Structure 1
Amino acid sequence: MRYMITYDWMETLRNTNQWLGATALSFASYPIFAMTPNPALQWMAAWGEVTERTFQRIVTKPDWGIESITGEDGRDHLINVETVIERPFGNLIHFDVLGRGEMDRRVLLVAPMSGHYATLLRSTVRSLLPDCEVYVTDWHNARDIPVSAGKFDVEDYTLYLSEFMRELGSDLHVIAVCQPAPLTLAATALLAEVDPDAQPRSLILIGGPINPDATPTDVTDFGRRVTMGQLEETMIQRVGFKYKGVGRLVYPGLLQLSSFMSMNAERHGKAFLDQIQRVSRGEASDHDPHNKFYDEYLAVMDMPAEFYLSTVERIFKGLEIAHNAFTVEGRHVDIGAITKVAVMTVEGAKDDISAPGQCIAALDLLTGLPDDRKASHLEPEAGHYGIFAGRSWRNNIRPLVLDFIDANSEEPAKRNRTSPRKKKAAKKTEAA
């Protein structure tokens, strides 16, 4: 009961702050105050607007917001997000581009279950859609999953991934971003042993902690310092009566968000103060850079307690993937069983979450895979976010990933990529 009271108390504090923001905005915006303009009231209204939006976004699942793309034919094609497989803890979804034939490249993008929704990969999905048939793992918020659905830990996560790969068939290329990299590697190895025909053609691991001890960071140091008992006592709570998952043990999104923000508290604090100033001066907009970033960053989801605790215990503390000792339902999953799937690792030189060395460790575990089917890339100026969603991804990493997919397809995929407009203009000028 204590864990449930704490959960509801945090939700009460969030509601209170949202209400305070809305109240300050309403009061300071009262029309009669316009007769005698007061900078203090303008600042109060701005504080209220930013505060209300901030605490409201925490419990709001963002929309994908990908309505259409421009095809090779020059036409705009609408996007329909359809569910391929529906499961209690997560669905397999497909971004169907209406009016376009199926693309040669079929990609499964494995989203993290690490506090944020799969929509964190929105820009990654958008960048791949013109060239690929894109499928994504859309994980559910644990607070909305009834206790009757049972547990969900790292083994269940691995089984979900293997089921999704089976559904999509062998003519598939898998991209795992950050946290799911080690479990995606394990799911591929599991298929190599139990259902070889269902293995994907290639596996791209981006910034994942295959071996967290290879290059320690603040994240791995925290996992070493804290005992499992301390984590369970301080991080795990029961969902309150407001949601369908009432009674389920979770690592609450609010706690996760506080951990994220404490790592760069000064930078976040300055960002919010600057935004209040912009709002007070009338320089902010609904989709300005601040709101665009924080609308996604602040939207957090509760994580099943079993998944969080087993991830820390088995992936970070026990190093089961790093030592090739991972088991699923009592069966040892041998990473060396992967002999046909081409594997590529991508790391960012400035990644302070999954530092360089942690992800490339996967290649040493692939003892049965020929060296000519292994590849790695280190992006010099990229941080953690940049290697899958920033400029580094768009300009450097994405082309390498598409080339790797093409090189490991049964038949070379047709080049449907559109050159940037500036390059086209340059070519016309040269021709002239």
Structure 2
Amino acid sequence: MKQMATYDLMETMRNTNEWLGASARAMASYPVWGMVPHPMFKMMSAWGRVTERSFARMVIKPAWGIRTVVGEDGRDHLVDPQIELARPFGDLVRFRVASRPEKARRILLCAPMSGHYATLLRSTVASLLPDAEVWITDWHNARDIPVSEGKFDIEDYTQYLVDFMKHLGPDTHVVAVCQPAPLALAATALLAEEAPEAQPLTLTLIGGPIDPDAAATEVTDFGRRVTMGQLEHLAIQRVGFKYAGVGRQVYPGLLQLAGFISMNLDRHAQAFSDKIVAAAQGEDSERDQHNRFYDEYLAVMDMTAEFYLSTVERIFKEREIARNVFEVNGKPVDISKVTDVATMIVEGANDDISAPGQCLAALDLLTGLPDEMKAQHLEPGAGHYGIFAGSSWRNNIRPLVFSFMDDNSKRGNRKAKKPAVTLAASNS
């Protein structure tokens, strides 16, 4: 009950701040104050509007907001995100483009489960859609998953990726961004042994912690400093009575958000101060740069406790992927078994989350893969976010990834294509 009370206390604080913002906005917006030429009322209204919106966004899943894609015919084609496989902890979502011939490139985008929704990759999806058929892993908020659905740790996550890859079949290009990079590598290795006919054509790993010790960052330092007992005591709570997952142990999204903001507190404080002043002066808008960024940044999701703790312990502390000793359901995963999946590594020179070298370590583990099927790219000046979104991704990295996919789709020694292994959608 103590953990549940703490969870509900955080939600109460969030709800109270949202209410305070709404009250200040409503109070300062009464027409009668127009008779009093004092800037205090405009500032109060602006503060309330920004505060209400910010705290409300913390419990709202953002929409994909990708409405159309321009086709080769110059016309706008409607985009419809559809759940192709439904699972308790995450869905396989396809972005189906209406009235357009199907593209040859088929891309599975593995989204991170690291505190934000898969919509964090919205711009990545939008940049891929004009030239490819795109699927994405859409992970669910743990607070909304009943305890009766059981656990979900990194082994379950890996098995989900295996099932999704089997469903899509061997003509798929897998792109894993950040946190899922080591697990996507493990899933590919599992397929190499269990179902080689379902292996993807290529695997692109972007800024992921394959070997966290290859280059130290604040994230890896934190993992070494804190014991698992301390981490469980400080970070894990039980979902409160408001949500369907009541009683489930989670790493709460609101707690994660507090950590995110504290890492760059001065910058966030300045951004909100500037936004309030702009709103008071009537210079803001509904979809300005501030709102577009913070609508996504503030929308956080709970992770299951077992997923968060197993990630810290097995990926960062024990380095099971880096040492090639990872297991799924008691079965050893041997990364050297991957011999026919071309692999590309993308890193950012200024990445302070997964520093250069952490993701590159994957190529040393792929001892069974010929050197000509390995590729790497270090993007100068790019930080963590820049290697999958923004100008660095659009102008430099995306064309390289497409070229890598196309080159390896044409390999003469590629295994004969076999039909995709179809898995029926289920809720279990």
CA displacement, residues 270-318 of structure 1 (integer Å, 9 cap, x when unaligned): 1111111110111100000000000000000000100000000000000
Distance 1:23 1:397 in 2: 46
Quote the offset at 1:345 in angstroms: 0.3
Distance 2:247 2:102 in 1: 44
Match of 1:30 in 2: 30
**Correspondences of 1:190-339 after superposition (within 5 Å):** 190-339=190-339
Quote the offset at 1:410 in angstroms: 4.2
CA displacement, residues 342-377 of structure 1 (integer Å, 9 cap, x when unaligned): 000000001100110100010000000000000000
Match of 1:100 in 2: 100
The question of 1:111 aligning with 2:92 is answered no
Distance 1:327 1:292 in 2: 40
CA displacement, residues 191-221 of structure 1 (integer Å, 9 cap, x when unaligned): 0011100100100000000000000100000
Distance 2:266 2:154 in 1: 34
Q: CA RMSD in A?
A: 0.8
Q: Give 1:217's aligned amino acid.
A: T
Q: Give 1:43's aligned amino acid.
A: M
Quote the offset at 1:411 in angstroms: 7.3
CA displacement, residues 251-278 of structure 1 (integer Å, 9 cap, x when unaligned): 0000000111111111111111111111
1:20 aligned counterpart, secondary structure: helix
Match of 2:383 in 1: 383
Q: Give 2:167's aligned amino acid.
A: E
Quote the offset at 1:54 in angstroms: 0.6
Distance 1:149 1:102 in 2: 36
Name segments (4+ residues, structure 1) moved above 6 Å.
none
Match of 1:420 in 2: none
Distance 2:50 2:351 in 1: 29
Match of 1:421 in 2: none
Distance 1:107 1:241 in 2: 39
CA displacement, residues 26-66 of structure 1 (integer Å, 9 cap, x when unaligned): 00111100011211111111111110011000000000000
CA displacement, residues 369-395 of structure 1 (integer Å, 9 cap, x when unaligned): 000000000000110000001110000
CA displacement, residues 156-202 of structure 1 (integer Å, 9 cap, x when unaligned): 00000000000000000000000000000000000001110010010
Distance 1:36 1:156 in 2: 61
Distance 1:411 1:212 in 2: 33
2:130 aligned counterpart, secondary structure: coil
Match of 1:184 in 2: 184
Match of 2:70 in 1: 70
TM-score when scaled to structure 2? 0.96
TM-score when scaled to structure 1? 0.95
CA displacement, residues 108-163 of structure 1 (integer Å, 9 cap, x when unaligned): 00000000000000000000000000000000000000000000000000000000
Q: Give 2:121's aligned amino acid.
A: L
2:301 aligned counterpart, secondary structure: coil
Distance 1:84 1:410 in 2: 28
Distance 2:81 2:375 in 1: 32
Distance 1:32 1:274 in 2: 27
Distance 2:256 2:99 in 1: 41
Distance 2:341 2:225 in 1: 36
Quote the offset at 1:101 in angstroms: 1.4
Distance 2:104 2:385 in 1: 28
**Correspondences of 1:138-157 after superposition (within 5 Å):** 138-157=138-157
Match of 1:423 in 2: none
The question of 1:57 aligning with 2:57 is answered yes
Q: Give 1:381's aligned amino acid.
A: G
Q: Give 1:16's aligned amino acid.
A: T
Q: Give 2:103's aligned amino acid.
A: M
Would you say how many aligned residue pairs link Structure 1 and Structure 2?
Answer: 412
Q: Give 2:182's aligned amino acid.
A: P
1:204 aligned counterpart, secondary structure: strand
Quote the offset at 1:13 in angstroms: 0.1
Distance 1:309 1:228 in 2: 7
Q: Give 1:222's aligned amino acid.
A: F
Distance 2:101 2:116 in 1: 32
Q: Give 2:366's aligned amino acid.
A: L
2:232 aligned counterpart, secondary structure: helix
Match of 2:373 in 1: 373
1:213 aligned counterpart, secondary structure: helix
Distance 1:38 1:63 in 2: 38
Among all aligned residue pairs of Structure 1 and Structure 2, give the percentage whose two residues are the same amino acid. Answer: 69
Q: Give 1:307's aligned amino acid.
A: F
